[in-house]
Structure 1
């Protein structure tokens, strides 16, 4: 298997794109010390090999009316394939869930959930998560303040 990140120049390209994905190729090339054509070749290789999965805009959650972040730890009643599939399929369809991670320990999944407030979060729990027959327990922590948030 070929190495996806070739060297420190690739890392500098990724760092610059992480900070500003809308940067022009010419500006990117200048910042990392390459010609525009060499920079573009490296960028295309990083995209083709899957190091760069895509480009996206970071949207302020309050623009969506989301003012509250919750971390929900979910334990399934059984870890059978059909229940896992039921849960994961449902989670993928819920806009409120920004992230879902299968984890080790006493819980099976950890979800990052956004809502407009406690009432909306309660509806989300009652109308979506708790209605799944495969869910045994849900434990929620509310985010009071975000100290660090980094995208890679």
Structure 2
């Protein structure tokens, strides 16, 4: 793991807030010279700490108004069912996040669709047809309270 300085933390905080700012803007914001800032960003990228850059899309503006947290329990945890489930979930654009967890359900998915009818198609045409599914429970998201939070990077 790369040892992080306070400047590294400030760079990562600034990039998570707006990764499209110019290197000059970034350097000014974190109080570094242009060349030193560029070298630190490259080092953070090469170390894997900065994994990628992306845009945050407003789902409602894109017509995607239905969001659910889906709790999935498998009948058994043999590799065939688990591998199939994971591979198929990774292919579905509606599934924004998928976590394997402890507790009642084996997996928790965050699913985003146009509407209830689209979600119902997702369930009937996809999820219920996967082998090894024992139980699916849905919690509808009523309001987005906190999302797209930056990773709280700390220095040593």
Superposition TM-score, scaled by structure 1 size = 0.95
> Normalized against structure 2, the TM-score is what?
0.93
Cα deviation, 1:30-65, whole Å, max 9, x if unaligned, reads 111110000000000000000000101111113432
Q: 1:137 aligns with which of 135, 142, 151?
A: 135
For 1:151 and 1:34, the matched residues in 2 are separated by: 22
| Matched residue, 1:125 | 123
Gaps of 5+ in 2: 152-156
Aligned residue number for residue 82 of structure 2? 84
Runs of 4+ aligned residues of structure 1 deviating over 3 Å after TM superposition are none
Higher mean alpha-carbon deviation, 7-16 vs 55-64, is at 55-64
Pick the aligned partner of 1:106 from 99, 104, 107.
104
Hey, what does 2:18 align to over in structure 1? 20
Aligned residues: 150
SS in 1 for 2:97: strand
How far does residue 120 in structure 1 lie from its aligned partner after superposition?
Answer: 1.0
Mean Cα deviation higher: 135-144 or 115-124: 115-124
CA RMSD of aligned residues (A): 1.0
Kept in 2: contact 1:67–1:116 (CA 8 A): yes
User: Deviation digits for residues 87-140 of structure 1, max 9, x if unmatched?
Assistant: 001001111000000111111100000011111111110110000121110000
- Structure number with the bigger relative contact order (C-alpha 8 A, sep ≥ 6) is 2
Equivalent residue number for residue 93 of structure 1: 91
